[in-house]
Chain A
Amino acid sequence: MSDTSVQRDRPWLMRTYSGHSSAKASNELYRTNLRKGQTGLSVAFDLPTQTGYDSDHPLARGEVGKVGVPVDHIGDMEALFEQIPLGQMNTSMTINATAPWLLALYVAAAERQGVDPSQLQGTTQNDVLKEYLSRGTYIFPPEPSVRLTTDLIAYTVQNIPKWNPTNICSYHLQEAGATPTQELAYALSSAIAILDAVRDSGQIPEERFPAVVGRISFFVNAGIRFVEETCKLRAFGRMWDELVQERYGVEEPKLRRFRYGVQVNSLGLTESQPENNVQRIVLEMLAVTLSKNARARAIQLPAWNEALGLPRPWDQQWALRMQQVLALETDLLEYGDLLDGSPVVEAKVQELITGAREEMQRVAEQGGMVHAIESGHVKRELVQSHTRRMRAIESGDLEIVGVNCFQETAESPLTSGTDSGIMKVDPRAEQEQITALQAFRAVRDQEQVELALAALRSAATGDGNIMPPSIQCAHAGVTTGEWSEVLRDVFGEYRAPTGIDIATGDRPSEALQQLREQVRTTGEELGRPLRLLIGKPGLDGHSNGAEQIAVKGRDAGFEIVYEGIRLTPAQIARAAQEEGVHLIGLSVLSGSHMELVADIQLELANIGAGDVPVVIGGIIPEDDERQLREQGVQAVFTPKDHDMNAIMANILDVIRHSNGLEARD
């Protein structure tokens, strides 16, 4: 029992990022989590909701309710928060391209609960810039996206003062391979781009601008190198403080504070010996709590089975308990800052700051973050860093316990259960959602819908703030797809640079050299150089794997066609035919592989290209792997397959086999 006379700091907000199947099912989950001592909500939306499609849109097939909750309209939003008093809740919503819409629905739902919107507390992630670089749920080109972000910020600062309108994210950059320096540089450059845009929009009176700065918060990552990560957070605080004072003249110290929430690193969580992930998660949590002056405001942790699939309630509970043990049982919260005055820490902080300033300078020279994203510079830097990391794992320079060293293991009781240790979303959820959506559409007042959409269009084409007509749309019963469609029509759609055109130069390993030779000779046997299509079907934005495979494929001597994320099965089949590729390699991590593979095979057959062999990689549970192979998929790769030379060799074998060549020797 802790000594009650000792002054303890208040613990950070403890959240679990969750949502699945339907608003009703997610509501039950939230209420259970709150009972278990969770102190805030963190909503995961499904991919159609994040990318602005209704549940019955063809592109939503297989994705509805899978990785998050589907919210098609006000009815869903109300159901999501039934019996949860919004006036007292602190809700974080991981929503970006459609952030103004989901906030509008939240406001409307609050109004229907009788809560004054000015009382609302919470966060909309609302950082589209990192979507182009990592997260992938962007819709519109950068310029209108920044405008939507700006509108939301301006609106909440005036009308929902306790809302965090944007969470500038470096979290996702680290998940796409960023180094600590890059995280610092790109997050701060993004913040500059957004704050400049708000200032220049003229929506905020000058004297209110410091208040805007004070509302900007960050969403940060913490990797396994927890000492360096702590230093990174101290560097963040210092650089932010300086930046907003110098660039925006914010004098009040409170408004210059670097406020941030965290999800700790998931990229480093492994499929092999997954129980080791628990240690990793706990150590990473230390990075963001150890130093009181750089401590997180809110933390959410991944679960031990992160690389296997979606977590079950028990897995999430375990993650929550890690936080509770640290905050309540240890003495961490009884002390002041433990690291102040340490010369070692100080030197590291300085090193990070210097490196980050240099990269920020390069971004500034390109005309700022938006331009540096459009030109592909930032994305290339990230792919480059990730490639280095993958190569270090491959060579063994970077040791990952259970992956490239100490692989031997006893059988794990954690994964031998009947549900293979992951959450399976009820496949009926999609159809139920679609039926409910169509019923909702049938009974709403169509005239009100048209009026609200016209108001939305007029704000979008003009320079009116997008929030008021969006709230009108929410009350009128407009759907997520309809709201987005109007803006797609006005702003157009965008495809972000893939960043894979990087040099990887130096000294190829023996294995790679041998591979090149075999790729070349197989090409000769087949008459022409070998060509691969790397395809990302569906709404899945996880591009890391596809990018790394594309780069490795190029380095192994293949000609690679890769068109980035979010293609339809028909587009992929067509491209494979037009490009005359020898093999299609799909990458799917969102869980909708069964539907998507079947669709692609069908499309291929329809256009007379059914003979092109298909392989797939991503998060594919074992049962599905078996079934996919039965359906004719030639090879299935998962995170266990970290040796990418071996993957390439395997692909080569598939090509040889399907062309009647004997196996390599």
Chain B
Amino acid sequence: MTAGHPFPDPESLAADVTAGRRAALASALNLLDDRRPEARRCASILLARLQGSATGMENSRLIGITGPPGAGKSSLTAALMRVWRQRGLSVGVLAVDPSSPISGGALLGDRLRMKTSHDDDGVFVRSLACRGEFGGLSAEVWPMSQVMLAAFDITLIETVGVGQREVDVSGMCDTTCFVAQPGSGDSIQFLKAGILEVPHVLVVNKEDMGAVARRTLSELSAALGREHGEGGWEVPVLSVSATVGTGIEVLADVLEAHHQHLLAMDMLRERRRGYQAAWIVKRLRGEFGSHGLEQLGGEQVLLRELAVEPTSLYEQYEVLRSRLLSK
């Protein structure tokens, strides 16, 4: 017998998740968190079913919010949630916080800022600890985002706020939004030096702080120049205040515009195929190093191969793992 509760039947779980049943959502997320082999098998089936039955891409958005610690990522998420709910859109949030490298424990504090109403079924927040992963996310984020995508109109991922280089999220989201802290020159320096990957949307939060926020806004705009992302997307630089609530509607509009842009340019399908590949490659690199990736033909080849026809996440991963282990 396995400890804890018996594993749920992945088929009916998938159906319940898609129907937005909260208890099912919770147990699906728990299942994806579970590292035991039997759980992994169930999870594989669950993910395959969810990806198969995924609601049309038009109606599901996967947004990443990143930025330095305390820039207001969680507050902004909360503010956006209010706007989205008013617009009738449901929201699932995955919020990642740092883990203590020593104890392995974590304080998951993002949720505090997102105080949600207790009877709104259109909102669901799951906090995660980064559990020693670099890059601002934890390994579970990508699979979990698939569950959220199946159940909500908008899935939002908040990264750990540990630095300026939390780029992992951009490889796993449709739209990446970077939140800058007024008065901190770091973001600007990193942008200029090309260290900070250019996000799809740049936001200076805390405009209620006045002059210092305005200065950061103009410096960021200048550093960015007229940056163009894929498909000619012009990166907007916005000024908002998460706590006062100014500029949030515009931000929501811009995020939606980027979604529409991806659809119009027919880029969304391809992007999304890449996320799973990125997840697998990252896991493999973590376990076997770049040497291991070379043995499989190199990172680029692998990413391309994997993106062609993504099948089951854990299966693909396990196949590659055993290929390497048998070498």
Contacts and interface: CB of A to CB of B under 8 A. Distances in A.
Interface in B33-63: 33-36, 39
Given A560-B105, A660-B4, A527 B127 contact: no
Given A501-B109, A564-B112, A570-B118, A528 B35 contact: yes
B103 A554 contact: yes
A559 B118 contact: no
Interface string B122-163: 001111010100000000000000000000000000000000
A231 B33 CA distance: 55
B107 A550 contact: yes
A562 interface: yes
A489 interface: no
B112 A495 contact: yes
Given A555-B100, A561-B111, 5 more contacts: A516-B104, A555-B103, A559-B99, A560-B107, A577-B23
A501 B107 contact: yes
Contacts of B1: 660
A578 B26 contact: yes
B107 A500 contact: yes
SS of A interface (majority): loop
List 6 A-B pairs, minimum CB-CB distance, nearest first.
Answer: A527-B34, A570-B118, A554-B105, A608-B23, A528-B33, A527-B36
A498 to B, nearest CB: 7
A555 B111 CA distance: 20
A215 to B, nearest CB: 32
A558 B31 CA distance: 18
A516 B101 CA distance: 12
Contacts of A575: 111
Interface string A516-544: 10011000111111000000000000000
A568 B107 contact: no
B111 A556 contact: no
B13 to A, nearest CB: 13
Interface string A572-593: 0011011110000000000000
A435 interface: no
B3 A555 contact: no
Nearest to B99: A559
Nearest to A550: B107
A520 B104 contact: yes
B184 interface: no
Interface string B13-36: 000000000110011011001111
A557 B103 contact: yes
B129 A529 contact: yes
B106 interface: yes
A607 B34 contact: no
B5 interface: yes
B124 A578 contact: yes
B106 A527 contact: no
Residue in A553, A554, A562 whose Cβ sees the most chain B Cβ within 10 Å: A554
Contact of A527 (B33, B109, B131): B33
A559 B100 CA distance: 10
Contacts of B125: 578-579
Interface of B: 1, 3-5, 22-23, 26-27, 29-30, 33-36, 39, 70, 99-100, 102-109, 111-113, 115-116, 118-119, 124-127, 129, 131, 243
Nearest to A659: B4
Nearest to A561: B108
Contact of B126 (A141, A501, A568, A578): A578
B10 to A, nearest CB: 15
Contacts of B105: 519, 553-560
A574 B131 CA distance: 24
Interface of A: 141, 375, 495, 498, 500-501, 505, 508, 516, 519-520, 524-529, 550-551, 553-564, 568, 570-571, 574-575, 577-580, 607-609, 611, 659-661
A54 B245 CA distance: 29
B107 A562 contact: yes
Contacts of A375: 70
B120 to A, nearest CB: 9
Contacts of A550: 107
A387 to B, nearest CB: 13
Contacts of B113: 495
14 contacts: A141-B243, A495-B113, A495-B115, A519-B105, A528-B33, A559-B106, A561-B111, A562-B108, A571-B118, A577-B26, A578-B26, A579-B126, A579-B127, A659-B4
B230 to A, nearest CB: 34
B119 A570 contact: yes
Contacts of B39: 527
B26 A580 contact: yes
A556 B103 CA distance: 6
Contacts of B119: 570
B93 to A, nearest CB: 9
A508 B104 CA distance: 13
Contacts of B102: 505, 508
Contacts of B107: 500-501, 550-551, 554, 560, 562
A570 B22 CA distance: 14
Contact of A516 (B103, B116, B126): B103
Q: Residue among B34, B104, B127 with the most chain A CB within 10 A?
A: B104
B221 to A, nearest CB: 26
Nearest to A555: B103
A577 B111 contact: no
Contact of B4 (A505, A527, A574): A527
A561 B4 contact: no
A570 B120 CA distance: 11
B23 A607 contact: yes
B299 to A, nearest CB: 29
Contacts of A559: 99, 105-106, 108, 129
A156 B286 CA distance: 66
Nearest to A662: B3
A66 to B, nearest CB: 23
A584 to B, nearest CB: 14
Contacts of A578: 22, 26, 124-126
Interface centre among A527, A555, A570, A575 (most CB of B within 10 A): A527
A554 B100 contact: yes
A580 B30 contact: yes
B83 to A, nearest CB: 16
A563 B111 contact: yes
Contacts of A661: 3
Given A561-B127, A577-B22, A580-B126, A526 B4 contact: yes
A285 B119 CA distance: 49
A551 B105 CA distance: 9
A527 B99 CA distance: 18
Nearest to B30: A580
Given A555-B103, A557-B103, A580-B126, A525 B3 contact: yes
A557 B104 CA distance: 5
Nearest to B208: A143
A556 B27 CA distance: 25
B115 to A, nearest CB: 6
A527 B243 CA distance: 38
Contacts of B108: 559-562, 579
Given A525-B3, A527-B39, A563-B111, A609 B23 contact: yes
A383 to B, nearest CB: 11
B106 A560 contact: yes
Nearest to B34: A527
A659 B3 contact: yes
Interface centre among A375, A519, A561 (most CB of B within 10 A): A561
Nearest to B40: A527
A636 B127 CA distance: 27
A578 B105 CA distance: 19
A554 B103 CA distance: 7
B103 A568 contact: no
Nearest to B124: A578
Contacts of A579: 108, 111, 125-127
A580 B125 CA distance: 11
A52 B103 CA distance: 41
